[in-house]
Each structure stands twice: as C-alpha cells, then as structure tokens.
Amino acid sequence: MRGHRGGSVLVVRPDHELVTMYLCVWSEEVVALLEEKGINKLDLRGKKATRKEFESYVKTHKPSVIFLNGHGNAKEIAGYDDKIIVDETTVLADAIVYARSCDAGRELGHTLVSRGTRAFIGYNRKFILGYLPDKVMRPLEDSIAKLFLGPSNLAVSTVLKGNTAEEAHVRSRGAMYKNFRRMISSTATFEERFAARWLWSNINGQVLLGDATAKM
C-alpha cells in the first residue's frame, strides 16, 4: 500500500440549483466529521467550486481524500454553474476519490486511476436523488433524501475513520440496501415505495476502482 504526502481532505460542493444544493447541505455531515477529527479541511463550497480553485487546492495541498459533488457524465464532473472541473486530463495522484455524480464511474474513474488516483468510488450510471417537494427549503428535514444521502456519505466518512476504500464502498452499499429493504416493506410510505427503484439503481451503479486496500 502506498503512503501519502498529504493529510487533508478536499470537499467540492456547488449549490447553484436544487440537486447540487441538496448535495451541498448534506455534505455538511462529512465536513463536521473532519472538524471533529481535526483533519485539515479544504472546502470549496458554492461559487468557490471552480476548476481554477480546485486545481490550485489539489496542487498546493495534495489532498489524500477528494469528495466531489456535482453533475457529471462518463467523461467529466462539473462544479458551480455546471462548469467542468474534472475531466480526462485531470491528475489526482495518490488520492482516494468519491464522486457523487452521474456516470463518472463508467470512464472517468478508470482514467483517473490510470493517471495515479489510488481509489475511485463513483457511479457507472445516473446517481439519482429522491426528495420530497415540500422539503426543498429544508433539505436536512427531507426523510426521502436522507435514505439516499445518508448512505452515500458513508463512502467518505468510513475512509475518514481509518478504513479502506473497499470497506467504505461496502458500508455505503450495505446502508443503501438496508434502506431499500425498508422502502419496499409493508410499513413503507407511498413516497418510500415510489423512490425505492431509484435507490436500487444507485446500489447497483456504485463501483470501486483502483486499490481496494487504499487508506487515508
């Protein structure tokens, strides 16, 4: 297992529309864990989530963990205002990367690993977020969003607690599956049953690429 020069964690969380705003607010749980553990926190929130800022932080701090939130496709991940910040020319050497983005696990993740990323957790299909329309102004009170974003946060927080990328991947998927079972049970609400198919898609779309034994 390779060692790492940096001890910092870079969180990228634009907030320019509904979905990114949800991801941004729910990322606060990870940011709070960084503060609790005294880990050097690099937080590109809102309008700071630009390619220029991202590349500057990566070059200067060489973060050991990078948590990306934003819209994406098979070849790119976007930041604020859907401007691209990561693509197939990006080098994230020696980092463990979790991308909460659509499709980035199909091609981009493989490219990043081939260019030196230690481990990449992401999705080889759309990352779908279920939410309640009457909670969009209070995302942390959204019980449906919690079923999606609580487990996905584990893909980062598990690594921050000293576990391997594989353990983070397995715990995240396991928590999603536990929620899925609840969502199709006889006690589920209509909203939970309706959203279950989307969580099932996320479970099956989450992939781990690179070194499964990588640790922070």
| pLDDT tens readout for residues 27-39 | 999 999 999 999 9
Q: Where are the beta strands (DSSP E) in 48-118?
A: 65-69, 77-78, 84-86, 96-100
Strands of 96-100's sheet, edge to edge? 40-45, 8-13, 65-69, 96-100, 119-123, 206-210
Q: How far from chain centre, in Å, is Cα 174?
A: 16
User: What's the CATH code of the domain at 154?
Assistant: 3.40.50.1460
Separation of alpha carbons 12 and 53, rounded Å? 10
In a domain, 134, yes or no: yes
41 phi and psi, to 5 degrees? -105, 125
Reply yes or no on whether the pLDDT at 158 is more than 60. Answer: yes
Nearest to 88 by CA among 110, 62, 63, 103: 110
pLDDT of residue 6: 54
In a domain, 216, yes or no: no
Structural domain including 16 reads 8-210
Separation of alpha carbons 64 and 98, rounded Å? 11
- CB-based contacts of 37: which residues, under 8 Å, 6+ apart? 160
Name the band, by pLDDT with cuts 50, 70 and 90, for residue 7. Answer: confident
pTM reported for the whole predicted model = 0.95
Sign of CA dihedral 95, 107, 88, 99: negative
pLDDT of residue 2: 40
In a domain, 215, yes or no: no
| pLDDT tens readout for residues 118-133 | 999 999 999 999 999 9
Alpha helices in 62-215 (DSSP H): 108-114, 143-160, 165-183, 190-205
- CB-based contacts of 189: which residues, under 8 Å, 6+ apart? none
CA distance between the termini of the chain: 11
Reply yes or no on whether the pLDDT at 193 is more than 90. Answer: yes
In a domain, 1, yes or no: no
| pLDDT tens readout for residues 171-182 | 999 999 999 999
Asked whether 66 and 92 are in contact (CB, 8 A), the reply is yes
In a domain, 155, yes or no: yes
In a domain, 51, yes or no: yes
In a domain, 3, yes or no: no
Domain count, the chain: 1
Q: How far from chain centre, in Å, is Cα 150?
A: 11
Asked whether 52 and 80 are in contact (CB, 8 A), the reply is no
